[in-house]
């Protein structure tokens, strides 16, 4: 069932009912984590932040990552209830459109995607017929909205800062925290993309850390500092005790740390190719008269970010 139970008060209504099974899929090219989360009693599942493969050198696209997720769902005999994106990603294409075409499952993201669409429509100088009402998704979740995956209660926390529309999905005792916090040795996500805000990021981190200490936290990326093996799961308690950007900080010191760090970071190599796909719900541009699809790259649109 895909019914959305809206929290009419607008506050964050979280339920910790149930403990889902979670399988992570790591995309080494973009250091991205994709997830299948499911109810072990009913087999109902959701896919979170799926990746559509893209080689920026050749312009080639592929569906290997998404197909691996579909194969896992089939092998486990799960039923796909939701295709969920936590935000429009700046470092990989979303495979939400492809998965929907293959399965018919509804797509959902945060309601503030409309703000991101308006911003990037201007940066790309997209045609008037590009819709900025979020209608490329079947559901737009607000802060505090509730829904179900099988018998599992799921809730939405609005977590801006990395982007204007970032959300966290809380499914039973698991929270999918996208690019707000990384593993403790990697700290936090950057907040310097168009529409980003380090103050908002700090407040979003505090909302996540207000969840019960035992809540399992699943991050959206792992950059494997020091060459360690890829990791993706922590807990609220561990993040409080160990996170390199949070432990011992207050909002002022965090914003200073985050701003100084962001100032030295080059933009992700796929930010301009990927955003035009991801603000369209994971849909590649329509083919032109010659049958080919083309990406649009605005020059000098992102200020004076450091070069590699």
Using CA atoms, how far residue 188 sits from 165, 185, 249, in Å, is: 17, 9, 12
pLDDT at 259: 97
CA 272 to chain centre: 17
- List the Cα angle 73/18/34 in 5-degree steps: 35
pLDDT at residue 8 in the model: 34
Nearest to 189 by CA among 210, 213, 220, 167: 220
Which one, of 158, 225, 162, lies nearest residue 192 by Cα? 162
pLDDT, one tens digit per residue, over 96-112 is: 999 999 999 999 999 99
Residue 87 C-alpha from the chain's centroid? 4
Per-residue confidence (pLDDT) for residue 16, from 0 to 100: 53
Question: How would you write the pLDDT of the chain (308 residues) with one tens digit per residue?
Answer: 343 333 433 333 344 568 999 999 999 999 999 999 999 999 999 999 999 999 999 999 999 999 999 999 999 999 999 999 999 999 999 999 999 999 999 999 999 999 999 999 999 999 999 999 999 999 999 999 999 999 999 999 999 999 999 999 999 999 999 999 999 999 999 999 999 999 999 999 999 999 999 999 999 999 999 999 999 999 999 999 999 999 999 999 999 999 999 999 999 999 999 999 999 999 999 999 999 999 999 999 998 889 88
Give the chain's domains with CATH numbers. Answer: 4-278 (3.60.15.10)
> Which residue in 132, 254, 246, 268 sits closest to 184, CA to CA?
246
What pLDDT is stored for residue 1 in this prediction?
37
DSSP string, the chain: ---EE--TT-S---------EEEEEEETTTTEEEEEEE-TTT-EEEEES-EEEEETTTTEEE-HHHHHHHHHHHHTT-EEEEEE-SS--SSSEE-HHHHHHHH-PPEEEETTHHHHHHHHHHHHT--TTS--SSTTSSEEEPTT-EEEETTEEEEEEE--SSSSS-EEEEETTEEEEETTB--TTT-B----STT--HHHHHHHHHHHHTS-TT-EEEESB---GGGPPP--EEEHHHHHHH-TTTTT--HHHHHHHHHHHHHTPPPPTTHHHHHHHHTTTS-PPPP-TTS-------TT-S-SPPP-
């Amino acid at each position: 069932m895909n019914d959305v139970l809206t929290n009419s008060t607008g506050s964050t209504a979280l339920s910790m009912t149930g403990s889902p099974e979670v399988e992570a899929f790591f995309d080494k090219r973009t250091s991205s984590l994709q997830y299948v989360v499911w109810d072990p009693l009913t087999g109902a599942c959701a896919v979170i932040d799926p990746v559509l493969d893209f080689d920026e050198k050749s312009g080639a696209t592929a569906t290997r990552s998404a197909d691996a997720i579909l194969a896992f769902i089939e092998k486990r005999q799960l039923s796909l209830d939701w295709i969920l994106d936590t935000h429009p990603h700046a470092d990989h294409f979303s495979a939400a459109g492809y998965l929907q075409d293959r399965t018919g499952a509804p797509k959902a993201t945060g309601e503030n995607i409309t703000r991101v669409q308006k911003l990037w429509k201007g940066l790309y100088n997209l045609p008037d017929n590009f819709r900025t009402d979020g209608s490329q998704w079947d559901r737009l979740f607000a802060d505090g909205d509730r829904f179900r995956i099988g018998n599992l209660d799921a809730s939405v926390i609005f977590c801006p800062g990395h982007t204007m529309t970032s959300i966290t999905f809380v499914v039973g005792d698991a929270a999918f925290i996208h690019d707000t916090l990384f593993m403790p040795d990697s700290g936090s996500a950057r907040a310097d993309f168009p529409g980003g805000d380090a103050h908002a990021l700090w407040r979003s981190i505090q909302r996540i850390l207000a969840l019960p200490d035992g809540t399992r936290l699943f991050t959206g990326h792992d950059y494997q500092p020091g060459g360690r093996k890829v990791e993706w799961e922590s807990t609220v308690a561990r993040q409080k005790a160990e996170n390199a950007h949070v432990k011992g900080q207050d909002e002022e010191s965090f914003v200073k740390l985050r701003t100084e760090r962001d100032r030295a970071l080059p933009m992700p190599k796929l930010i301009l190719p990927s955003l035009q796909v991801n603000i369209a719900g994971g849909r590649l541009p329509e083919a032109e008269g010659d049958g080919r699809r083309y990406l649009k790259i605005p020059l000098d649109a992102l200020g004076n970010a450091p070069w590699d």
